[in-house]
Amino acid sequence: MARRRVALGLLAAALVALSALVATVVPTNRASAAGTDLPPSTLDALQRRFDPQVEALGLRVTRAMLQNLQTYEQDPEGTHLALYVEPIKPGYTNAQYLKNFTKLTHLLVPAVFERWKGLESFDICQEPVDDPRAVPPPVTQIFVERDSLDRVSGWRRANLTQLLAASPRVRSIAAGYYVYFAPDLRDEPLFVDAAAKAGWTTASTAFGH
């Protein structure tokens, strides 16, 4: 009997030790699991990753981070990737902002979601050239959630009209997808033509402001 009690005690101890070992190697929460398949969280690493892609468009990454969209705070385990790019040289025109908006979309959507399965949302802003402010207002922006990728058919071929047609006019992450263009761009012939084809009444009333 005594031997049986000893054997049972040894078995229980072994099971406790095994459970502890499993707990150390198996992720126990969603954040940890997502963190294993997210973009790098530092600016330097994100610049190394994305600068070679956007330089061909005359752009460079100025700010970049992972964020928690619930708090809008930078978070190394955040599932939202925010990229900010600006023109490398002065003389970057409104027409270039519009054309590169579409090219950036083709380049990065849905590629970032395919590359990082833990990523839930993404946005990229083109910023003013040589703006000294720490957080310049965007000139263009696109925001998209993984769950809203079906809003646009054929992201890698979609033109400006299609990207506008799929977007609400007010910037809201609750929509899952939106695009934004600064007022100066809305008088550009390319934008006016695309907005008309998308069924928007006038460029000046776009985005509700």
Q: What is the pLDDT of residues 91-137, one digit of tens each?
A: 999 999 999 999 999 999 999 999 999 999 999 999 999 888 989 99
Where exactly are the structural domains of the chain? 1-36, 39-208
How many residues does the structure list for the chain? 209
The neighbour count for residue 123, using CB atoms within 10 Å, is: 23
Round the average pLDDT of the chain to a whole number and report it. Answer: 85
pLDDT at 209: 42
Q: Are 64 and 82 in contact (CB under 8 A)?
A: yes
Four-residue CA torsion sign, 197, 200, 203, 208: negative
| pLDDT surpasses 60 at 62 | yes
Contact in structure between 168 and 133 (CB atoms under 8 Å): no
Q: Residue for token digits 């150390």?
A: 24
In one-letter notation, the amino acid at residue 12 is: A
pLDDT, average across residues 16-36:
42
Question: What integer pLDDT is reported at residue 207 of this predicted model?
Answer: 58
The pLDDT value given to residue 23 = 38
Lowest mean pLDDT among 31-40, 151-160, 186-195: 31-40
Q: Which residue has the higher pLDDT, 169 or 206?
A: 169
CA-to-CA dists, residue 198 to 123, 160, 173, 176, 209, angstroms: 22, 9, 21, 19, 18
pLDDT at 33 over 80: no
Please tell me which residue, 6 or 65, carries the higher pLDDT value: 65
Mean pLDDT of the region 180-195:
96
Average pLDDT over residues 37-64: 97
Torsion on CA atoms 159, 87, 60, 43, rounded to nearest 10: -110
The helix/strand/coil state of 64 is strand
Please say whether the beta carbons of 203 and 195 come within 8 A. Answer: yes
What is the three-class DSSP state of 2?
helix
Q: Residue range 23-30: average pLDDT?
A: 38
Q: What DSSP line would sit under 69-134, residue for residue? A: TTTTEE-TT-SEEEEEEEESSS---HHHHHHHHHHHHHHHTTHHHHH-TT--EEEEEE--TT--SS
Q: How confident is the model at residue 2 (pLDDT cuts 50, 70, 90)?
A: very low
Query: Model's pTM, two decimal places?
Result: 0.81
